[in-house]
Amino acid sequence: MPAFGKVYLIGAGPGAQDLITLRGARLLAQADVVLHDALVTAEMLELCPQAVKIAVGKRCGQLSTAQAFINKQLVDQAGKCALVVRLKGGDPMLFGRADEELRALEAAGIEVEVVPGITTALAAAAATQQPLTQRGVARSVAFFTSSTAPAHPEQTAVPDTDTLVQYMGGREAIVTARRLLEQGRPAATPVVVIENCSRADQRVLRLTLGTLAQGLGETHGPVLVMLGEAMRARPQQALGGTSERAEELQRQA
């Protein structure tokens, strides 16, 4: 018997149970133990009823699990179990701290494999039917977050691309909007905000950059913000995608 089992870093996708990959679902059904993020839904965990489930979530402003503890848990569980899953919302390789977990597992000599998932930006584009690129309008896209390591404050700079997608938006998106206005982006630049993407309580707001700079109001789940001319609503979308909250913000602008 090998000294260690195998660890899989699996992307759970944006939230909906049926948006995980077939490979990810198959491995979940075989897992001995699953260490999962806070963004992984209860419905997703129904795919692994046989597994021991360990919550190791990180949520802004809430009690979170230290990354060093997660790394140790992965190594410890691999010493006890044949198949260990680290289940992450979205895709493990995008804002998922996969590098730190891969390094810890590699240093311990543990075999590890990454199973990709649908990252929230692509799911949000699909859910809102709003392509991130558009011929003649947007040929570049940046995915970014305001979170950064203390030693690298320069990483908080807003990327210079046609379409901007901010993960973990919320309050941080307001700061981004104000920075973009200061840099000369038009206040009328279209913005699409999606909360709880792909879930039953999904909410979509269609705003402008100027309106976003005033605030988003209260949110109750993960928020992703898409900005740029590619977000401009088509005629058929103009009425259907704006919530009462967005209309109220537009009136205040």
Same domain, 61 and 85: yes
Q: What is the pLDDT of residues 170-180, one digit of tens each?
A: 888 999 999 99
The CATH number assigned to the domain holding 90 equals 3.40.1010.10
Residues 13 and 37 placed together within one structural domain of the fold: yes
- Give the mean model confidence (pLDDT) for residues 117-131: 97
Spatial CB neighbours of 245, under 8 Å, sequence gap ≥ 6: 205, 217
Query: Do 13 and 110 share a domain, yes or no?
Result: yes
Catalytic residues: 37, 58
The per-residue pLDDT for 63 is 55
Q: Name which of 95, 103, 119 is nearest 11 in CA terms.
A: 119
We report the CATH number of the domain holding residue 137 as 3.30.950.10
Q: Could you tell me if 145 and 236 lie in one domain? A: yes
Q: What is the pLDDT of residue 171?
A: 84
Task: Name the average pLDDT for the chain.
Answer: 89
* 210: CB partners within 8 A, 6+ apart: 177, 181, 187, 188, 253
pLDDT category of residue 155 using cuts at 50, 70 and 90: low
Q: Which band of pLDDT confidence, cut at 50, 70 and 90, is reported for residue 147?
A: low
Beta strands in 45-130 (DSSP E): 52-55, 83-88, 112-115
Q: Model confidence over 169-220: pLDDT tens digits? A: 888 899 999 999 999 999 999 999 999 999 999 999 999 999 999 998 888 8
The answer on 144 and 240 residing in a single domain is: yes
Asked, for residue 1, whether it belongs to a domain, the answer is no
Three-state SS for 95?
coil
Supply the pTM of this predicted model: 0.86
Evaluate if residue 93 carries a pLDDT over 90: yes
For residue 46, being part of any structural domain is answered with yes
Q: Could you give the number of structural domains in the chain?
A: 2
